Structure 1
């Protein structure tokens, strides 16, 4: 038999809403997700892979809109030279009868919906062993049947399943059900797994492809799919990870001290390709201690660069403020503002108070400092205009 090549992907989560993000970011994320199927088709065609395996969770819910469903099938129909092999995952389980009935009604001939645990011939000499999720929470190892499944001698055996393995984990609570040695016990030449949203190698013949369009900071970078090449029965596959995602996710740390140039350190974390920032979702977790002027410097950098990103967030929950008496002079040297600043400073440094109360006082002092700087800058601009 000649070399058999296919594209392994999973967890497309078409129709995902991304409700925790701002509206503009949600729109960008949803638009990128709508292009996944066409993107996978282009990758498969570019690498002469005639088959695409989707290891579950093609849809984000059991009730995707008709628009999401039909557009996905339309993109598969357009790539008529490819065969698409799809199993239900836990998000779009086979229990969603209306969903899968609609898919079956509108699916073109090159789309194969694998609803039962039974051997299916993908191509001459190649047998597919699917383990579709019948329900959202399986409660059992759905790949167990593969061990006893009979296939013609000399044919390649490819497993297709969705869920976590017993010693690795899952992106869904309660999903750790698949035996980690299933590829060996079932004599599989390759086990294509879905559920984990990052690419992960369990062993030479068992891999998670991850999602083709990243959807969370937990799995950084761009989404990927796996190009798999099988040359003969019993020989380890050749696997290549290929970037397929349009958007790049990063979760970075920023360690600060009162002596640091906070603005410069923040800038140093930014991607070097500024024209491509609109495709980046960047979350920076700041930690340590900084002064009020440093915090203002951070805010100024964020105001300058943040709008150029698809999403930009500075997480300051791990960041404490070090307040200095001389900072109060930058707020006011006398009057009510000065009195308020001194009261807040005293509360922020009062160890007799609960930490939450001290944090509230510190945050208020930071805001007062920023307000004072804005007033000073505004007054300077007005004076300049008058001259």
Structure 2
């Protein structure tokens, strides 16, 4: 049996306010092509199908079309909710969808009830563990003392192993949404840590053939049978240059036979540009990234006027702007160093020019400042 391990689709997510639905549907739609090209039997989605508990109508439309394409390509689909999803909303119509080959495993009480699939070697049990929030899951699992992710997932896996014990010779796959020890996070994941209790040791998942992990957006291998597929798109500029992929997982008669990475296309790349506004607008070296999502870090000594609008004349998908200049001048000295030894009037005049984008104070304003500073000095002496 051949599985395609994916996770963290985050349908409906934006990038600094820029809608990503078009890019998401483009890359997720390509999974159907992979199903056909690689003869994939099962596509698994290990949590965070949507980016929010109440997805928009457009986001649900994307998921509907992607699932239709996967089923038309011939793959069974198994998905579970992550910490971004509402398990109850995601599970709406689960019974009806199961009849068409799309299995939503969202009920904590039923996490030890697998989707049973078959091939020439027998049965494969696919267990979908929904994201287990400890404070809620400990009551649903009737383990009131379990107050950490490790504790509730240990109970969940004990139940999975107990069910597997009753199915001798059955190969097994577990979908789980968690932060497993050894994983490397990215900027774009929502923190599920409360005092460090989010970390789950890898041995918690012992006893199954393959564990398809979700939550971390960087593809990575914890052990040969315990892996994160990562998100299909980069969702923060901290992921610039990160290659996105899915895992192609093969099971034979003995269990896990092999895993290999398949790269995913990048509909629109992310780029971080650094320089003055004039440099970014004029430098021909940036021609190749004009259609990328751009984060601009401006180094101008004085904050430019209307920089985002001006940047978007060249980079229409510039979505983030950071001004890093102003703290040091062209001579390398800090603002404090440049102001040292200057009079109060000079410091005030410099500040006004700074916030005006380089326009200094007028003679009338200077006279007003002189009077105000003099009055302040006299009041200080009198006090």
TM-score (normalised: structure 2): 0.67
Structure 1: distance between partners of 2:32 and 2:22: 17
Pairing 1:281–2:278 present: no
Match of 1:56 among 41, 44, 47: 47
Structure 2: distance between partners of 1:165 and 1:351: 55
Deviation for aligned residue 1:112 = 0.7
Distance change in 2, residues 1:90/1:238 (3 Å): same
Distance change in 2, residues 1:315/1:111 (3 Å): same
Match of 2:200 among 163, 174, 178: 178
Aligned to 2:339: 349
Contact kept? 2:301, 2:326, Cα under 8 Å: no
Structure 1: distance between partners of 2:131 and 2:280: 50
Pairing 1:246–2:257 present: no
Match of 2:77 among 54, 73, 84: 84
Q: Secondary structure at the match of 2:238?
A: coil
Structure 1: distance between partners of 2:249 and 2:192: 32
Deviation for aligned residue 1:101 = 1.9
Match of 1:207 among 227, 230, 244: 227
Deviation for aligned residue 1:323 = 6.1
Contact kept? 1:57, 1:88, Cα under 8 Å: yes
Q: Secondary structure at the match of 2:91?
A: helix
Aligned to 1:263: 279
Contact kept? 1:56, 1:86, Cα under 8 Å: yes
Match of 1:140 among 142, 149, 170: 149
Aligned to 1:329: none
Structure 2: distance between partners of 1:346 and 1:318: 14
Aligned to 1:128: 126
Contact kept? 2:28, 2:232, Cα under 8 Å: no
Deviation for aligned residue 1:200 = 2.1
Distance change in 2, residues 1:253/1:238 (3 Å): farther
Structure 1: distance between partners of 2:242 and 2:283: 22
Contact kept? 2:25, 2:66, Cα under 8 Å: no
Deviation for aligned residue 1:305 = 7.4
Contact kept? 1:7, 1:51, Cα under 8 Å: yes
Pairing 1:164–2:179 present: yes
Aligned to 1:340: none
Q: Secondary structure at the match of 1:308?
A: coil
Distance change in 2, residues 1:56/1:235 (3 Å): closer
Deviation for aligned residue 1:291 = 6.2
Pairing 1:109–2:100 present: yes
Pairing 1:44–2:20 present: no
What 5-or-longer segments of structure 2 have no aligned partner? 138-147, 361-383
Structure 2: distance between partners of 1:206 and 1:346: 52
Distance change in 2, residues 1:42/1:358 (3 Å): farther
Q: Deviation digits for residues 69-123 of structure 1, max 9, x if unmatched?
A: 24422431243211111011111142xx244224555676121111331233233
Contact kept? 1:6, 1:228, Cα under 8 Å: yes
Structure 2: distance between partners of 1:136 and 1:64: 24
Distance change in 2, residues 1:160/1:301 (3 Å): closer
Structure 2: distance between partners of 1:17 and 1:312: 10
Aligned to 1:9: 6
What 5-or-longer segments of structure 1 have no aligned partner? 257-261, 325-344, 370-387
Structure 1: distance between partners of 2:97 and 2:249: 31
Q: CA RMSD in A?
A: 4.1
Deviation for aligned residue 1:33 = 2.4
